[in-house]
Amino acid sequence: MGNTITKTILKNHIVEGEAVIGKEVALKIDQTLTQDATGTMAYLQFEAIGIPRVKTELSVSYVDHNTLQSDFRNPDDHLYLQSIAQRFGIHFSRPGNGICHQLHLERFAKPGKTLIGSDSHTPTAGGIGSFAIGAGGLDVSVSMAGMPYRIKYPRVMGIKLTGKLSDWVSAKDIILEILRRLGVKGGVGYVLEYYGPGVKTLSVPERATITNMGTETGATTSIFPSDEITKGFLEAQERGDSWVEFIPGEDADYDKVLEINLSEVEPLVAIPHSPGNVKTVKELAGLKVQQVAIGSCTNSSLLDMKRVAGILNGKTISESLHLTISSGSRQVVDHLIESGEMGYLIQAGARILENACGPCIGMGAAPPSGAVSVRTFNRNFLGRSGTKDADIYLVSPETAAATSITGILTDPRDLGKYTGVKMPDKFNINDNMFMPPLSPTESEKIEIIRGPNIKPLPDFPPLPNNLEGEALLKVEDDITTDHIMPAGAKILPFRSNIPEISKFVFGVIDDTFPQRALDKKGGFIIGGENYGQGSSREHAAIAPKYLGIKAVIVKSFARIHLANLVNFGIVPLTFKNPEDYDNIDQGDNISIEIGNLDEIVKLTNKTSGLEIELEHSLSDLDKEILKVGGKLPWVKKQVK
């Protein structure tokens, strides 16, 4: 049978293990990226490993998340990140340059290369044919140190695209259609690989929108072919020499196939509070809206912004709402100014925000109390916007722009004739806001700058044979990393200060949790299905570890969070019989015999007297890492 793109790239990068579904393989990593919300901790960890320079082909540190400078904390972190980049041979993208995934797609991503990033939407680069995976910061640090990245060999779901999108329907509607069919768990264990005649109808930015939000299905990553469309995009970015063809074999063998006729896709919307709750815009048309926000790493490309500008040209936004626009990069803004389309946005009444993540992560532009906010973002989790009682709806740029004019959720097809947009043959290239790596000789002279908010890493003690404590919190299905470790303008500045940020753990669910955990000297968390979905933020493991969490016991885990728990010495266990979830209540006293972490682990509920069987998906290496207290102490032993 012919190879898929996924199998071909993995074959070229496996350095250990066999290509058997579900078995662990170690991959050579070519590129890494970090952003400032996760990067400060990642580089503290990289420093602790103790090597003089990164060993990847390319590593980039972006500043795009914590760009509000309401006090010294964020700017101090940015100085730290800049000095780290200069010291260790890393490209540095300065504040204001743009969103990491948009910039990486424009300037660095390469077909056939492996990329891991300390951001769950790193699969954006799959739109250009990279095998790009989101990971915790520690895993990225280890990859920068030259060690392989380990994953379970995935299944490949072939998503066959046929037909062509109708006017006013866009790539965002395609991925919302996929989420409507798969939900937020349907991609777990899979790579989503796109093929079929419909692929040729999609530009690289459109493909990147789809791979970006494929993360919300739980997939390991998503990838498109590298074809003549890809070549044209790279040539327009003056990177034609980066192009390599990667297309699936004619008889490619997919483990599962999902077929989508693009001609039948219509404008869609994800309703609160999950990207998997998808309906047609027509079903909800007329919903009164108080805010529209356009941008994020999902929909901030030049193509997206041109479409929005075309809709707003000559119009004024509704008096009942406000509109924010965040372009993905300075290149996008440069083109909008050159074409005059930035004027359309300004004249229509849009608030032009910085080229950064901004409202998507709750960093400014929070909606009013109880408001409906229509956004082109990738997540609408409870409280993520910065306003806990706001309702967030996820839509395409076309739907968002139409809504901003009418003041109610509007199907863009109601606007009438579609005129389309003209993209430039060549993009304006100006990399002056990237700082390239210094030479090794120059790097040695760089002093690393540390502000007072940057605190040392917590200790990682070895794992004992028996774990004792209280079930400190019991939660339901689909708990996200936003629930565990909230973001937003109030909390993100403490990403380099674990004692301080730990005060906000589970604040959305139970704001008494941090102090209770400290008072009880730690304990356990009990959860349902898909625990830890969403962001790659490793703080959702580090901060609970600091509070004394010893094990998390759930029905199932999301991939990245499971890895992060192992990395920081928290034992991830699942109920052998899911109904045993009902046999542990918050406040119960629990004892777990860890021993050698055999296939079955015994839990005793000392409050009820019941014995419960737990299991895990840990590899032998995972067990070894847990036993020594986490990945950082394990890695330090390997490099000495």
Q: Which residues belong to the active site?
A: 64-65, 119, 379, 535, 537
Buried/exposed code over 599-629 (b: 16+ C-beta within 10 A; e: otherwise): eebebbbeeeeeebebebebeeebbebbbbb
What DSSP assignment string belongs to 195-242? Answer: ESGGGGGS-HHHHHHHHHHGGGGTBSEEE--B-HHHHHHHHHTT-GGG
Q: Integer distance in angstroms from the first to the last C-alpha of the chain?
A: 44
CB neighbours of 454 closer than 8 A, spacing ≥ 6?
40, 44, 76, 77, 80, 496, 497
Q: Can you tell me whether residue 515 is helix, strand or coil?
A: helix
What DSSP assignment string belongs to 233-288? Answer: HHHHTT-GGG---B---TTB--SEEEEEEGGG---EEEPTT-TT-EEEHHHHTT-B
Alpha-carbon Rg of the chain, whole angstroms? 23
- Is 546 exposed, middle or buried (CB count within 10 Å of its CB: 0-12, 13-18, 19+)? buried
Q: How many CA atoms lie within 13 A of 331 on its CB side?
A: 25
Task: Give, as one character, the DSSP assignment of residue 531.
Answer: B
CA distances, 495 to each of 66, 85, 312, 492, 560 (Å): 10, 18, 38, 6, 18
Buried/exposed code over 548-560 (b: 16+ C-beta within 10 A; e: otherwise): bbbbbbbbbbbbb
Contact between residue 14 and residue 114 where contact means Cβ atoms under 8 Å apart: no
Q: What share of the chain is helix, strand, coil (3-state, %, to 5)?
A: 35, 20, 45
SS (H, E, C) 140-198: HHHHHCCCCEEEECCEEEEEEEECCCCCCCCHHHHHHHHHHHHCCCCCECEEEEEECHH
Quickly count helices (H) and strands (E) in the chain: 21, 27
The amino acid occupying position 500 is: E
In degrees to the nearest 10, what's the CA dihedral of 323, 326, 327, 333? 80
Q: Which of 328, 305, 289 is nearest to 408 (CA)?
A: 289
Q: Which of 244, 222, 190, 264 is nearest to 125 (CA)?
A: 222
Which strands form 221-223's sheet, in the order they lie side by side? 221-223, 190-195, 155-162, 256-261
Buried/exposed code over 55-68 (b: 16+ C-beta within 10 A; e: otherwise): ebebbbbbbbbbbe
Contact between residue 506 and residue 513 where contact means Cβ atoms under 8 Å apart: yes
SS (H, E, C) 109-150: CCCCCEEEECCCCHHHHHHHCCEEEECCHHHHHHHHCCCCEE
Place of tokens 């006293």: 589
